[in-house]
Structure 1
Amino acid sequence: MLLVTGATGTVGREVLRRLSGDLPVRVMARKPERVAGAAESAEIVRGDYDDARSLARALAGVAGVFLVTSRVGRDDDARFLRAARAAGVRHVVKVSAAAVEDARADDLITRWQRGNEDLLRGSGMEWTLLRPRSFMSNTLSWAESVREEGVVRALYGTSANSCVDPGDIADVAVSALTEPGHSGRAYTLTGPEALTAAEQTARLSELLGRPLSFEELDPGQARDLWSARYPAPLVEALLRSAERQRCGAKAGVENTVEEALGRPARPFRAWAEDHLAAFMAH
């Protein structure tokens, strides 16, 4: 039995779509009604990292887990890994972040991910770590302004990021869950090229067949924008992360997707073609 967590999120949703109906799969979600794309044979259960009993029920009989946690600063990983070990889970495939490898990265999010990685490596279970660069799907946050104004607004628009297609992350995750040879491996996952937000805007403009303009946000504007969505400590972590990107820390391209899957990582243009409707005027 495989357990998928985070199945309503960006990567977990893609993992679920890729797991064959021939495999016994259980899905744990806080809101099971939001789970979509699972095989008809998949078992969907309600579970919460704060509820030890729900974790025990979700993990009963499970051999392998796809683990996603997102509440920065919380001890969700510790709670889950204790329950997984008690249930006899053999292998955990966890989504972490590429920044953990950067000695200059010392923001709240990165420290939290490093601690979670240490917990998994010390759990006594087999482990595989997926360390993606920023998701190509983050550009969906531009969709409304693109549709309504023909404008993209972003911080440090001329700084490059080797962002990765979430589908590639999911493909590597499924391979790690279902095929041998991935235990004890940490995969840094990037796209095939490093792009700036201005370059992504130009590619979207070309695909949409209409002009788009790019407007640079300054750090104060970015702080105000993010503060409407995130608590202050997380906003400061995002600003520090953006500053590292401005200094070139996120421009490196890895060949790990091809090494793991036997095919190249998908470029931003291919991702954008698949999601173009989100940017088109209604």
Structure 2
Amino acid sequence: MILITGATGTIGSELSRQLMARGVPVRRMTRKSRPGFVQSDFEDPISLRKAIDGADTVFLLSAPGPWVPDHDRALVAAAIDAEVHRIVKLSAIGSTNEGLPGNWHAAGERAVRESGLAWTILRPTGFASNVLRWLPAVRAGQPIPNQTGDGQHAFVDPADVAAVAAEALVSGAHDERIYTLTGPELLSVPDQVAVMSDLLGLTLQVVDVPLEIYAEQLRTAGLDEAVVSVALRGAELIRSGGERTLTNDVEQVVGRPARSFRDWVETHRALFSKS
């Protein structure tokens, strides 16, 4: 039995789908009660232990934020107590860089590696699906906001992240491995928008958003100052050309090349319809 935390999110839901399609028994964990899921909370040790009892493998996904270290350590402690065999942790690129969003995962990575359990750590880049935040602008015919200038990034398809996670969960061939999961190409926001314009048959424009304006937008949205700070650092890193990592780790694990951003848009083009 595989326990999947974060089972309603982008990666967790896709991972659940892929594993169930393979006939692998899964238990999906979520904080809110819903049919077909086990309700549990990282901050409630009793509920966490109940969720993990009977599972021999755990997929660890903590929602991003400064609480990640505590949540990860709580899950690892529960896994050890329940005599789980293997943990696969979803981390993030930049987990070793202090002050970046990925660094929230550093303590959790350490806890997983030092747990005495079999482990795999996945460090994906930004998801291709993050462009869904542009949906309101696309549907309204407004310019796409760009906080990263011409900086490039190798956006990864969430389905590829889930596919790698599935392999790591069911096979010991990936124990004690750290994979950096990227797409096959480096793209800037203008590059992404050009791909979308081509495939969607739209004329999409881009508007540059200065980082100070971006910061105010995040604060207005109610984000914690710690989250605002790391979001700005991440945008600055990409803008300055410091996030140009490319790997073939997806292909190494799943035996096929990583899907491109164009592939992702083609698959999900219906989401951008105005209807």
The TM tier, using the shorter chain, reads: over 0.9
TM-score by length of 2: 0.94
The answer on whether the counterparts of 1:144 and 1:279 sit within 8 Å (CA) in structure 2 is: no
Q: Is 1:68 aligned to residue 93 of structure 2?
A: no
Residue correspondences, number: 271
User: Are residues 225 and 277 of structure 1, via their aligned partners in 2, closer, same or farther at CA, if it must alter by over 3 Å?
Assistant: farther
Q: Is 1:93 aligned to residue 94 of structure 2?
A: no
Match of 1:199 in 2: 191
2 CA distance for matches of 1:111 and 1:25? 29
1:206-221 counterparts in 2 under 5 A? Answer: 206-221=198-213
2 CA distance for matches of 1:255 and 1:218? 33
User: Are residues 229 and 163 of structure 1, via their aligned partners in 2, closer, same or farther at CA, if it must alter by over 3 Å?
Assistant: farther
- 1:51 offset after TM fit, Å? 1.1
Match of 1:23 in 2: 24
- 1:71 offset after TM fit, Å? 4.7
The answer on whether the counterparts of 2:73 and 2:111 sit within 8 Å (CA) in structure 1 is: yes
- 1:246 offset after TM fit, Å? 1.7
1 CA distance for matches of 2:191 and 2:129? 15
User: Identity of counterpart residues, as a percentage?
Assistant: 39
User: Are residues 240 and 169 of structure 1, via their aligned partners in 2, closer, same or farther at CA, if it must alter by over 3 Å?
Assistant: same
Q: Secondary structure at the match of 2:174?
A: coil
Counterpart among 102, 125, 129 of residue 110 in structure 1? 102
**Over residues 37-82 of structure 1, what are the superposed CA-to-partner deviations in whole Å (9 max), with x where a residue is unaligned?**
xxxxxx6211111111111111111110111002522211111111
1:121-270 counterparts in 2 under 5 A? Answer: 121-227=113-219, 228-270=221-263
Match of 1:40 in 2: none
- 1:250 offset after TM fit, Å? 1.5
Q: Is 1:56 aligned to residue 60 of structure 2?
A: no
**Over residues 84-132 of structure 1, what are the superposed CA-to-partner deviations in whole Å (9 max), with x where a residue is unaligned?**
100010100010011124xxx3215333211111111111111100000
TM-score by length of 1: 0.92
User: Are residues 111 and 100 of structure 1, via their aligned partners in 2, closer, same or farther at CA, if it must alter by over 3 Å?
Assistant: closer
Counterpart among 70, 75, 78 of residue 73 in structure 2? 78
1 CA distance for matches of 2:149 and 2:193? 10
Matched residue type, 1:5: T
Q: Secondary structure at the match of 2:121?
A: strand
The answer on whether the counterparts of 2:100 and 2:234 sit within 8 Å (CA) in structure 1 is: no
1 CA distance for matches of 2:160 and 2:100? 26
Long gaps (5+) in structure 1: 36-42
2 CA distance for matches of 1:280 and 1:5? 31
The answer on whether the counterparts of 1:4 and 1:12 sit within 8 Å (CA) in structure 2 is: yes
Matched residue type, 2:257: P
Matched residue type, 2:91: S
The answer on whether the counterparts of 2:7 and 2:29 sit within 8 Å (CA) in structure 1 is: yes
Matched residue type, 2:241: G
- 1:134 offset after TM fit, Å? 0.5
Q: Secondary structure at the match of 1:19?
A: helix
**Over residues 186-238 of structure 1, what are the superposed CA-to-partner deviations in whole Å (9 max), with x where a residue is unaligned?**
00000000100001001111111121111010011111222214211111111
Long gaps (5+) in structure 2: none
2 CA distance for matches of 1:142 and 1:110? 23
